[in-house]
Amino acid sequence: MADKKLVEAITSMEEDFARWYTDVVMKAELIDYTTVKGCMVIRPAGYAIWELIQKDLDRRFKETGVQNVYLPMFIPESLLNKEKDHVEGFAPEVAWVTHGGLEPLQERLCVRPTSETLFCDYYKNVVQSYRDLPQVCNQWCSVVRWEKETRPFLRSREFLWQEGHTAHATAEEAEERTLQMLDVYSDFLEETLAIPAIKGRKTDKEKFAGAVATYTVEALMHDGKALQSGTSHNFGDGFARAFGVQYTDRDNTLKYVHQTSWGMTTRLIGAVIMVHGDDSGLKLPPAVAPVQVMIIPVQQKKEGVLDKAYEMRDRIVRASEGSVRVKVDDTDKSPGWKFSEQEMRGIPVRIEIGPKDMEAGKCVIVRRDTGEKIEIPDSELESRVPEVLKSIQKDMLEAARAHRDAHTYSAADMDEFRKVFLEKAGFVKAMWCGDQACEDKIKEELSVTSRCMPFEQEQISDKCVCCGRPAKHMVYWGRAY
């Protein structure tokens, strides 16, 4: 049995989802608050998840030809001001550096909220001819947006992310790259984070400042709210024209490049918590669990128990060639306390081993996702552990998909639409005329936004859910983080 003390310390999801979330990030030791308002410390248990996310995403990027770079964290005000829509979108929420050392700066610098302007400035220098294209770069860095209300991982004044920025010879190639990266994001969410995603296009109201088109992967959290989990933007040649990024084509004429950008952030850790977690704490998909298996000795002071635990660890490491991340909890806490901690931290598998198990030549595997206990012969340890991890990864995706499908509704008119958002929570599929006035009206009345126009369109009705005029798109609507 898991220890009650640790468990009672967290609020239940039903009672107060927001408090449950905060309790989990604190009790699982993912973050700590700081005296720097709106910023957080990402603690070892949290950062190790980010490292696994980075490693996996970075591999996927590089398989598509992405190269990593690093650009300055500062943007001179005059550079930020070059693209009109972009500066309007970001200027209200940037932090400004006005002094360097003891001297006031001649021109103030903002701390990057995103780096389109810097990448344009860079590509302008290094792109001369069609031979220099495409440029397919990415950087892992932190960015700053001066948010008024902040929440760990979901919204903070500084966060970590990757931002990909590409430049292409043609509009077609840019659109292709934009969609390719959206697929990378969607595959990553499903295969690695066990989060099913809706792929689609943002409405003009919701698109990125300066983009021609923004595509998104939207996920549904356990409380029925939506989380934008990654976006991919096609800029056309708008930035290129504003910054003068041109190349000499094969026909010896000067042309503007076509650009894209795409990003995922540490808010993905928030998504993992809110999609998979439960009242015992975090539940990590094995692919991003820094510790996948915790071996917990029972009656560890009895002779041979600890040694047996270490032996089991070593066998798992050896047989998996180090690919299974396994530890022994040999602290002097009680087994019940250790079970609670392992559950709170979301470690996918625990193995219980005590004198009785040893006598019987067996051990007990407990799945964090389902709570299922599996008694296995000691001799099958090496083969069963990777199998169980694989099942957990697969089953967590299925469970998340089932939850999402159960909380996805259709609405043909405003009555149905309202009913869902007043009584339930989830995605609502409903038709839209394409007019921003309807989006504004829906947002004002219900605090609901258009999440995306999904690639997989359905015909819920032939009229806009809001104004009744002929419908142009099916839209996923939701309350969003």
Nearer to its own copies, 243 or 477 (CB): 243
Residue 70 is a binding residue for its own copies (CB under 8 A): yes
**What does the block give as tokens for 172?**
């077609």
Instruction: Report the distance separating Cα 394 and Cα 462, nearest Å.
Output: 37
Instruction: Report the distance separating Cα 152 and Cα 42, nearest Å.
Output: 9
Position among 157, 177, 233, 479 found at the interface with its own copies (CB under 8 A) = 157
Q: What is the dihedral of CA 375, 377, 380, 384, to 10 degrees?
A: 0
Position among 101, 250, 422, 456 found at the interface with its own copies (CB under 8 A) = 101
Residue 92 is a binding residue for its own copies (CB under 8 A): yes
Q: What are phi and psi of 461, to 5 degrees?
A: -160, -175
Question: Helix (H, G, I), strand (E, B), or coil: what is residue 169?
Answer: coil
**What does the block give as tokens for 416?**
């149905």
> Do the Cβ atoms of 110 and 77 come closer than 8 Å?
yes
Q: What are phi and psi of 400, to 5 degrees?
A: -65, -40
Nearer to its own copies, 40 or 312 (CB): 40
Binders of its own copies among residues 29 to 58 (CB under 8 A) are: 32-36, 39-44, 47-48, 50-51
> Which of these ranges, 1-9, 67-75, 366-374, 459-467, lies near its own copies under the rule CB under 8 A?
67-75
Question: What radius of gyration, in Å, describes the C-alpha atoms of the chain?
Answer: 25
Instruction: Report the distance separating Cα 178 and Cα 214, nearest Å.
Output: 9
**What does the block give as tokens for 24?**
């989990």
Q: How many residues bind its own copies (CB under 8 A)?
A: 52
Residue 102 is a binding residue for its own copies (CB under 8 A): yes
Nearer to its own copies, 310 or 467 (CB): 310
Instruction: Report the distance separating Cα 282 and Cα 181, nearest Å.
Output: 29
Nearer to its own copies, 124 or 463 (CB): 124
Residue 109 is a binding residue for its own copies (CB under 8 A): yes
Residue 89 is a binding residue for its own copies (CB under 8 A): no
Position among 59, 64, 88, 126 found at the interface with its own copies (CB under 8 A) = 126
User: Looking at residue 31, what DSSP letter applies?
Assistant: E
- Three-point CA angle 415, 416, 418, nearest 5°: 65
Query: Residue 376's beta-bridge partner residues?
Result: 363
Minimum CB separation of residue 241 from its own copies in Å reads 18
Instruction: Report the distance separating Cα 39 and Cα 45, nearest Å.
Output: 17
> Which of these ranges, 71-79, 191-199, 201-209, 234-242, lies near its own copies under the rule CB under 8 A?
71-79
Minimum CB separation of residue 398 from its own copies in Å reads 32
Position among 64, 72, 84, 424 found at the interface with its own copies (CB under 8 A) = 72
Position among 94, 167, 221, 453 found at the interface with its own copies (CB under 8 A) = 94
Q: Crossing angle for the helix pair 381-406 and 305-319, nearest 10 degrees?
A: 80
Nearer to its own copies, 94 or 226 (CB): 94
32 CB-near residues (< 8 Å, 6+ apart): 26, 40, 41, 43
Per DSSP bridges, beta strands 246-248 and 103-111 are: unpaired
Position among 7, 69, 319, 467 found at the interface with its own copies (CB under 8 A) = 69
Instruction: Report the distance separating Cα 295 and Cα 309, nearest Å.
Output: 7
Nearer to its own copies, 38 or 297 (CB): 38
Minimum CB separation of residue 138 from its own copies in Å reads 10
> Which of these ranges, 72-80, 202-210, 248-256, 365-373, lies near its own copies under the rule CB under 8 A?
72-80
Minimum CB separation of residue 265 from its own copies in Å reads 13
Q: What are phi and psi of 248, to 5 degrees?
A: -90, 120
Nearer to its own copies, 12 or 334 (CB): 334
**What does the block give as tokens for 102?**
């003891």
Instruction: Report the distance separating Cα 328 and Cα 313, nearest Å.
Output: 7
Nearer to its own copies, 122 or 477 (CB): 122
Minimum CB separation of residue 221 from its own copies in Å reads 23
**What does the block give as tokens for 272?**
């993992």
Nearer to its own copies, 2 or 109 (CB): 109
Minimum CB separation of residue 420 from its own copies in Å reads 35
Nearer to its own copies, 100 or 304 (CB): 100
Per DSSP bridges, beta strands 293-297 and 326-328 are: parallel
Residue 365 is a binding residue for its own copies (CB under 8 A): no
**What does the block give as tokens for 325?**
């991340």
Residue 130 is a binding residue for its own copies (CB under 8 A): no
Minimum CB separation of residue 331 from its own copies in Å reads 9
Position among 160, 271, 288, 365 found at the interface with its own copies (CB under 8 A) = 160
Q: What are phi and psi of 399, to 5 degrees?
A: -65, -40
- Sites of contact with its own copies (CB under 8 A): 32-36, 39-44, 47-48, 50-51, 67-76, 79, 92-102, 109, 111, 118, 121-122, 125-126, 137, 141-142, 144, 146, 157-158, 160
